Chains A and B, each alone.
Chain A
Amino acid sequence: MNSKYEAVIGLEVHAQLLTNTKIFCGCSTKFGNNPNSNVCPVCLGHPGVLPVLNKKVVEFSILFGLATDCVINEKNVFARKNYFYPDLPKGYQISQFELPIVEHGHLDITLKDGTVKRLGITRAHMEEDAGKSIHSQGDETLVDVNRCGVPLLEIVSEPDMRSAEEAYLYLTKLKQIVQYLGICDGNMEEGSLRCDANVSIRPVGQEKLGTRAEIKNLNSFNNVAKSIEFEIERQIELVEDGGEVVQETLLWNADKNETYSMRGKEDSHDYRYFPDPDLIPIHISEEWKNEIAETMPELPKARFERFVNDFKLPEYDAGVLTATKNLADYYEEVLKETDDYKSASNWVMGDVSKILNEEKIDVSKFPISPVNIGKLIALINNNTISSKIAKDVFPEMMKEDKDPAVIVKEKNLVQITDTSAIDDAVTKVVDANPGQVAQFLEGKEKVIGFLVGQVMKETKGKANPQMVNDALKNKMNEMK
């Protein structure tokens, strides 16, 4: 980036709230049902119907506000946002305008160099989603109203971010918080978390904000970062060439890696908000707020600190494990079978995460239950199997999520700790490798690694490596 300029970025995030039913009617919010099957007169916008607010939407919104240090507005009201579009049957979206449910909050991100930066949350408000338009190839558009009325929390940040990296970290943090709160599944690909980015540039040192462009409908974390990066460069080049940034709505083309103007909607930014007479105001008492605060689950920061303090994990481990609630939950389930915190961390961050990354699946879909991973660690620690054998048991567990003790027994993998069996193998290996033995006796102790390997081979990996090591040394020292 040209160092004469700085970027100013604000994000608007729509989080789909994890309720069973829509915000104003009892229709299901389930994703992927047949088109126009989760509908009723209320969400179809038929005349004469009356929306009634889902209590859970309010509770979830308050929970979010508390988790991000927002002010919870004692009084808040719904407003109508008026515009015409075929996926909006009523001709208005029920949203909040002057009195949102929560405002003036913040969250902290940790930058690459370790500094913590606080980013403001202007407000978060409740609203209903619109339907889905399918633009087919012909001269028609098909409309599915299933998503109409699905509850959203629109979270608006302050223009506090100065780079694509900061925007990416903000979004990651936000996703982590809503997932920990259990109010949104945070799945950008399925659209349960959506992001619009407002981007402008200004000469370094200038306080006045530049004209901003809004990039809409970003559907992955990478696209958010890449589109912002592109847009910053585009604006700088434009200004350097004597041009001017115009206020407009842009879309991101992920194939070409560029933003492009979405024309034809400029006119419609006159939404004529007014309080919705169908919905009466919400009053949030101190008492209700406290009740909800009591249900507040442990948040990422607290969990991170607990992992470091109680489990004595390195901060790196604690950071990786608490990055998502599901991974942290998995890790703690492993600990039900073992109190070897660090080994459990190594397995979850190592063998387990490797497969999660390769298969691109969430840990909740991982075939081996955490309990069995814990049992595997316990088998290593009580010397039933070596850690080398454990690496062979693991793929068997991937095939079938069985108690590792059963697999060890079935495959006859129990570690040999019987000294006579080990001594036999040691004698055999020493006899077969006179050259290496001679080297060892001449003082080249490193060669013992090779000999241990040979004994392990002889015992099909089942001998206790430490015992083999000791037995070999004894045997050869006797030969001196």
Chain B
Amino acid sequence: MSVSKDDVKHIAKLARLKLNDEEIESYTGNLNDILKYIDKLNELELDDVEPLSHPVENTNVFREDELKESTTTDEALKNAPDRTDQYFRVPKVISQSNN
């Protein structure tokens, strides 16, 4: 398996990263090196091995449905680049108007 420059551009776009041509070139190389390494695993006979989602054997760590005190609104908004009294303020996202 390998990735093309277009794949890298697409992934960068999804991650909201701006890459220049040189970076695209070098990341394509880097990513393909990683994929080549992963491909080595395919040389093994793995048909009987269940996919591993987590490296730990634990299961079922829960909390009870009990209320804990929340942070204050002021504290919550403290690190926001922009805010009003009670809200986070961000640039307008979408105009959901009809046509």
Report whether over half of chain B's contact residues are helix, strand or loop; otherwise say mixed.
loop
> A207 near B: Cβ within 8 Å?
no
> B20 near A: Cβ within 8 Å?
no
> B65 near A: Cβ within 8 Å?
yes
> A113 near B: Cβ within 8 Å?
no
CB atoms of B62 and A142 under 8 A apart: no
Q: Scoring B residues 85 to 99 as 1 if CB is less than 8 Å from chain A, else 0, what string do you get?
A: 011111111111011
> A433 near B: Cβ within 8 Å?
no
Report whether over half of chain A's contact residues are helix, strand or loop; otherwise say mixed.
loop
Please give me the residue from chain A that is nearest to B85 by CB atom: A35
Cα A58 to Cα B62 in complex, Å, equals: 9
Partner of B88 from A25, A142, A281, A283 at Cβ < 8 Å = A142
Shortest Cβ gap from A263 to chain B (Å): 9
CB atoms of B66 and A280 under 8 A apart: no
A135 with B67, Cβ < 8 A, contacts A142-B87, A253-B98, A272-B14 known: no
> A443 near B: Cβ within 8 Å?
no
CB atoms of B70 and A37 under 8 A apart: yes
CB atoms of A52 and B63 under 8 A apart: yes
Shortest Cβ gap from A348 to chain B (Å): 34
Cα A253 to Cα B89 in complex, Å, equals: 27
Partner of B98 from A140, A260, A282 at Cβ < 8 Å = A260
Q: Can you list 24 contacts pairing A with B, beta carbon distance less than 8 Å?
A: A20-B65, A25-B68, A27-B68, A36-B76, A36-B86, A37-B70, A37-B72, A37-B73, A39-B76, A53-B61, A53-B63, A54-B62, A54-B65, A85-B93, A138-B92, A140-B89, A141-B91, A141-B93, A142-B87, A145-B88, A260-B98, A264-B94, A282-B59, A283-B59
Chain A interface residues (CB < 8 Å from chain B): 19-21, 25-28, 34-41, 44, 52-56, 58, 75, 77, 82, 84-86, 99, 133-135, 138-145, 251, 253, 256, 260, 262, 264-265, 267-268, 270, 272, 275, 277, 280-283
6 extra interface residue pairs, beta carbon distance < 8 Å, beyond A19-B65, A141-B89: A26-B67, A37-B73, A53-B62, A54-B65, A272-B14, A280-B61
